[in-house]
Amino acid sequence: MKELYYVGMDIHKKKIAYCIKTKEGHLIGEGEIDSCKAVLERFARGIDAPWIGAMEATMFTGYVYDTLVEYAKELKVANPLQLKAISASKKKNDRVDARKICDLLRVDLLPECYMSNPKIRELRRVLRYRNLLVREGTRFKNKTAGLLMELGIDYNKSRLHGKKYFNALVDNLHDVPASVKDLLTFNRSTLELFKTCQLRLINGLVRHHLLHERVERLTTIPGVGVVMALTWALEIGDPERFAQIKQAVSYCGLTSAQRESGDKSLRGPISKQRNKHLQWMVIECAKLAARTDLRLLKVYETALEKGNRNKATLAVARKLVAYLLAVDKSGNEFVPRAL
């Protein structure tokens, strides 16, 4: 049986630096290849022994992982934040990075991170694109209001983006440049396009066979809507990877960073090492959930007595994460306990 090889890869947009070593650290080969699927497949087939590969998590890692996973005995993805802390060195280039990743892999010190399956990543890409449309729609709404304020035009803020009110407002605009009317009309048509597209994407995700039943169970939790349920399901992937609630809470970015040395311990603001998409959605959901559910309202009020409104919202968000994880792992609908 041939000796097992260890392959470290440093991935970039156009090139991938690689390093191949044995378990004892003997160099088998290193170099650079183009980061396209055909070249990756030829590279994987050219390794004349069973091999384990590792790479850093980047925006290009997904297709590289999917291409190589069927050729490797095992393929791992490293957490870039932890990898930087471990592999910091005076000399840094692509070849050195590939060697470092290879060495960390063969001595079993690679800070591995979770890699969801390709179908979940595909659906997650759709949801994140929908979120982009919502953000861009908000910018166009703000621009519509800005155009009116630039000309000193009085308008009803709460009704501005309603179709009937907006059309009546534009029709009654007099003594304003024609370009302003054109820009307002363009903004309105773009907003309607964004709204139609994002609703279409959401409806497609909800009906998908991998998500339909899961989303239905999650939406039985007080304050959790369809978008929150989709965000949780697609950003978490497999809920079984969290053995404890505090791990899921940390992944959502709802815990503070800790610095401890000797007998001194310092807690900072909530950590930046988190899933930012999930963090934002859980916090926004917590703000609404505390108003609609008596149990969450009690959590909010108890935390408010000890701190401020932000800390109280975080307490509700942590409770929501506990609910979401419990429902997702059990496969049962949410059943509230008696007050």
Per-residue pLDDT tens digits of the chain, which is 339 residues long: 578 999 999 999 999 999 999 999 999 999 999 999 999 999 999 999 999 999 999 888 999 999 999 999 999 999 888 887 666 667 778 888 999 999 999 999 999 989 999 999 999 999 999 999 999 999 999 999 999 999 889 999 999 999 999 999 999 888 888 999 999 999 999 999 999 999 999 999 999 999 999 999 999 998 899 999 999 999 999 999 999 999 999 999 998 877 777 777 777 777 778 899 999 999 999 999 888 889 999 999 999 998 889 999 999 999 999 999 999 999 999 988 766
pLDDT at 86: 67
Residues 96 and 164 in one domain: no
Residues 11 and 80 in one domain: yes
Count of other CB atoms within 10 angstroms of residue 238: 12
Whether 335 is covered by a domain: the verdict is no
User: For 48-72, what is each residue's pLDDT tens digit?
Assistant: 999 999 999 988 899 999 999 999 9
The full DSSP string for 81-136 is HHHHHHS--SS--HHHHHHHHHHHHHTT---B-----HHHHHHHHHHHHHHHHHHH
Whether 111 is covered by a domain: the verdict is no
Residues 216 and 326 in one domain: yes
pLDDT at 271: 76
Is the CB of residue 78 less than 8 Å from the CB of residue 30? Answer: no
Whether 339 is covered by a domain: the verdict is no
Residues 12 and 54 in one domain: yes
Closest Cα partner for 323 from 239, 256, 255? 239
Whether 308 is covered by a domain: the verdict is yes
Residues 63 and 130 in one domain: no
- Cα separation values, 119 from 131, 165, 239, Å: 19, 43, 16
Name 289's Cβ contacts closer than 8 Å, sequence gap at least 6: 222, 223, 224, 296, 316, 320
Spatial distance between the Cα atoms of 54 and 321, rounded to a whole number of angstroms: 31
Choose one of 82, 106, 130: the last residue of a domain: 106
Whether 225 is covered by a domain: the verdict is yes
Choose one of 79, 106, 133: the last residue of a domain: 106
What 3-state class would DSSP assign to 275? Answer: coil
Closest Cα partner for 101 from 13, 3, 18, 4? 18
Range of 301's domain?
Answer: 212-330
Whether 336 is covered by a domain: the verdict is no
Choose one of 146, 174, 207: the last residue of a domain: 207
Whether 302 is covered by a domain: the verdict is yes
Residues 20 and 70 in one domain: yes
pLDDT at 159: 93
Spatial distance between the Cα atoms of 276 and 251, rounded to a whole number of angstroms: 9
Residues 179 and 285 in one domain: no
Residues 325 and 238 in one domain: yes
Residue 52 in tokens: 């384990």
Strand duo 256-261 + 74-78: pairing: unpaired
Whether 273 is covered by a domain: the verdict is yes
Q: What is the chain's Cα-based Rg?
A: 25
Domain count, the chain: 3
Name 258's Cβ contacts closer than 8 Å, sequence gap at least 6: 265, 266, 267, 268
